[in-house]
Each structure stands twice: as structure tokens, then as C-alpha cells.
């Protein structure tokens, strides 16, 4: 195993931004990397069949600036996942993660995601194949259980299985997933959080690096969970909707490395990236700026920023000048509020 790459991703996972379908694409990750140089970033879930059978290797495209960055895979066939992991390693990802937590119907129909909580031996077989196929670290993201399972019983068995396969790092979403009766959105909010169980798993499996996910809305909340002995905190929607509040202070607060980046700096730093994207075939401004809408959340001018980007980012020929004009509105609002 390439220990340097393993060390980079492992250290960065002290704080990570969760893989989120339709959100954490390469434009989002580039933007988030400007806000935090240290946090671990994840791709959206990419299915192994799409890569191996469909030849959709374009889904692995990413900017070198995104590192450390992990590829999340979906699948349940060991040979197919092994090949997908090999492709991900060849593309340069620092970590290969197996999704055992997504509850969507589409994922279930492919025997991906949270339904795999019912098959820990299968997950172990998949992980062993992925580990054997390539040099990057293989990790797992899971739930505490599904449906009528008793988390206190099923989660230890699941962790035992993946650890025996060679997995050393797991991210646990501290909620059950209900595969029938709740939508994916409801599965992010309705099942109660059980942080205590995840903390107990760290005590029971001291050799596993365990990150906690689910309901972490502030950087202070992440720090409080780390203080309970967990190895990492994975933040999802809060990092997307309020990226400056979560990611700008993270390098200093979580990693002890000061950063002078500001939200305004990040907006300006996106301009060359936007120009490169627009110069590519079919690139559109909204593909990038939709991820930037929450940059000034909670600050004077935040609404004007969102409105200007939303209303003008889709028009033909829209370019960096739209972001510059939106930033001018934020500055104007800040001056008026001072």
C-alpha cells in the first residue's frame, strides 16, 4: 500500500465533507478546496457498473487542486468493484470508499448502499477484493443499521466483518436507514441520531479509525464529537449550504493550521476556474455557481448574492462578470451595514 497517500487521506479525514449525490461534483469540490486546504473531500457516488460495464471513466475526472480527495463507489459485485477501484486509483484518487449507507430506491434496486447492511459478509468480500486490486486505502461509509435491525447488535458485526477484510477506516452515519416507507430526504432527518452508539463503537474497536456523520450542523458540533474520542467528523448539508461557516475556520480549528482565506478571496479565486470551464466544450456558468450560492450565508448581502447568481447564471453567454457583479452587491451591503 502507498502509505504516503494513505497518511494524507487519513489525516485529512479529521474533518471531511460527505459525498452527496448531485452536489459534490468536481466544481463543488474545487470550490470547497479553496475554503479549506486540509479537509478530506469526497466525490458523489459513482457506480461500479457505470465505470466497468458502461465505460463512463469521464466520471472520474477531477482537478489536481482537489486533493486530498476520495472516490466513493457503489456496487456489490467484488470483481466489478475491484476493477472500479483500480480505475479510481489510476485516476489519482487518494482513497476508495464503498457506499453502504445510501437508502434511495435506485440504489437499492442495484443492491448498492444501505441495503448492504444486511450482508456484512458480502461487504467484506467486496472490500477485500478492492484492497487487493490497487494501492489506495479502501474505506467504508455505512449506517448504524436498516429497517428492523437492532443497531447495537448489527453494527458491531458489520464492523468486525469489514475490519477482518482489511478495512481500517469507517465513516458511520449515526442513523438507521428505513428502506421502505421513508424517502431518501426523510432518511436524512427522521430516524433519530445515536451518537452514543458510534462513540461506543470506537471504544469497542480501538484499532478502527471511526468518523461520525449525520446532523452535524456547525464546526463546534464537529469539535465536540471529536472531543468524545472519535477520529473524524464528516459534515454534509451544512458544509454545502454554509460553506464559509464550516470550511473557512476548519484549517485552524480542526487541523491547527492558520488560513488567511476569506469568502471574498474564494469568490475571486473561482474566476479563473470559471473561465477555464466556460472555455471547455459546453461549459455553463450555472454548473459552477450553483455550488457557491451559500458562500455569504448569514452576512449582509447574502440574499442579493444568491439572487444575482441564480437569475443571471443561466443566461446565454454568462461569465465571470456575473460573479463579480454579485460580489459587488455583497460589498455594498457590507458597507451599508457598517
Instruction: Kindly list the catalytic residues.
Output: 102
Distance CA 338, CA 335 (A): 5
Beta-strand (E) ranges in 77-214?
Answer: 95-100, 137-146, 169-177, 209-213
Phi, psi values for residue 100, rounded to 5° = -125, 35
Q: 17 - beta bridge partners? A: 41, 235
| Residue that the C-alpha cell 464559509 belongs to | 244
Pairing of strands 15-17, 69-74: unpaired
Distance CA 336, CA 318 (A): 28
Beta-strand (E) ranges in 155-221?
Answer: 169-177, 209-213
Distance CA 111, CA 274 (A): 37
Instruction: Please check whether residue 156 is in contact with residue 135, taking contact to mean a CB–CB distance below 8 angstroms.
Output: no
* Residue 256 burial (CB count, 10 A): 8
227, burial (CB in 10 Å: exposed 0-12, middle 13-18, buried 19+): exposed
Distance CA 31, CA 261 (A): 12
Instruction: Please check whether residue 79 is in contact with residue 54, taking contact to mean a CB–CB distance below 8 angstroms.
Output: no
Phi, psi values for residue 315, rounded to 5° = -75, 150
Cis peptide before 68 (omega within 30 of 0): yes
User: Which residues 6+ apart lie within 8 Å of 46 measured at CB?
Assistant: 56, 59, 60, 71, 72, 73, 74, 84
Amino acid at each position: 500500500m502507498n502509505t504516503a497517500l494513505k497518511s494524507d487521506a487519513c489525516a485529512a479525514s479529521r474533518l471531511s465533507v460527505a459525498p452527496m449525490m448531485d452536489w459534490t461534483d468536481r466544481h463543488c469540490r474545487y470550490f470547497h478546496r479553496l475554503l479549506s486546504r486540509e479537509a478530506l473531500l469526497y466525490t458523489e457516488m459513482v457506480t461500479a457498473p457505470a465505470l466497468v460495464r458502461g465505460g463512463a471513466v469521464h466520471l472520474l475526472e477531477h482537478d489536481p487542486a482537489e486533493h486530498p480527495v476520495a472516490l466513493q463507489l457503489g456496487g456489490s459485485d467484488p470483481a466489478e468493484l475491484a476493477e472500479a477501484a483500480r480505475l479510481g486509483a489510476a485516476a489519482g484518487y487518494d482513497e476508495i470508499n464503498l457506499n453502504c449507507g445510501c437508502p434511495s430506491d435506485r440504489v437499492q434496486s442495484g443492491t448498492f448502499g444501505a441495503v448492504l447492511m444486511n450482508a456484512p459478509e458480502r461487504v467484506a468480500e467486496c472490500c477485500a477484493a478492492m484492497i487487493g486490486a490497487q494501492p489506495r486505502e479502501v474505506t467504508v461509509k455505512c449506517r448504524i443499521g436498516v429497517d428492523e435491525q437492532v443497531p447495537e447488535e448489527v453494527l458491531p458485526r458489520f464492523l468486525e466483518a469489514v475490519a477482518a477484510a482489511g478495512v481500517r477506516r469507517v465513516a458511520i452515519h449515526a442513523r438507521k436507514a428505513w428502506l421502505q416507507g421513508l424517502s431518501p430526504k426523510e432518511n436524512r432527518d427522521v430516524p433519530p441520531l445515536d451518537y452514543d452508539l458510534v462513540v461506543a463503537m470506537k471504544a469497542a474497536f480501538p484499532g478502527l479509525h471511526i468518523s461520525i456523520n449525520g446532523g452535524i450542523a456547525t464546526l463546534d458540533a464537529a469539535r465536540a464529537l471529536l472531543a468524545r474520542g472519535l477520529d473524524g467528523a464528516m459534515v454534509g448539508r451544512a458544509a454545502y449550504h454554509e460553506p464559509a461557516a464550516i470550511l473557512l475556520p476548519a484549517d485552524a480549528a480542526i487541523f491547527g493550521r492558520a488560513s488567511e482565506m476569506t469568502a471574498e478571496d474564494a469568490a475571486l479565486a473561482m474566476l479563473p476556474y470559471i473561465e477555464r470551464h466556460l472555455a471547455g466544450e459546453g461549459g455553463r456558468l450555472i454548473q459552477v455557481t450553483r455550488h457557491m450560492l451559500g458562500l455569504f450565508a448569514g452576512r449582509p448581502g447574502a440574499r442579493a448574492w444568491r439572487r444575482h447568481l441564480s437569475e443571471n447564471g443561466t443566461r446565454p453567454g454568462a461569465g465571470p462578470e456575473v460573479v463579480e457583479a454579485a460580489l459587488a452587491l455583497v460589498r455594498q451591503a457590507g458597507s451599508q451595514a457598517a
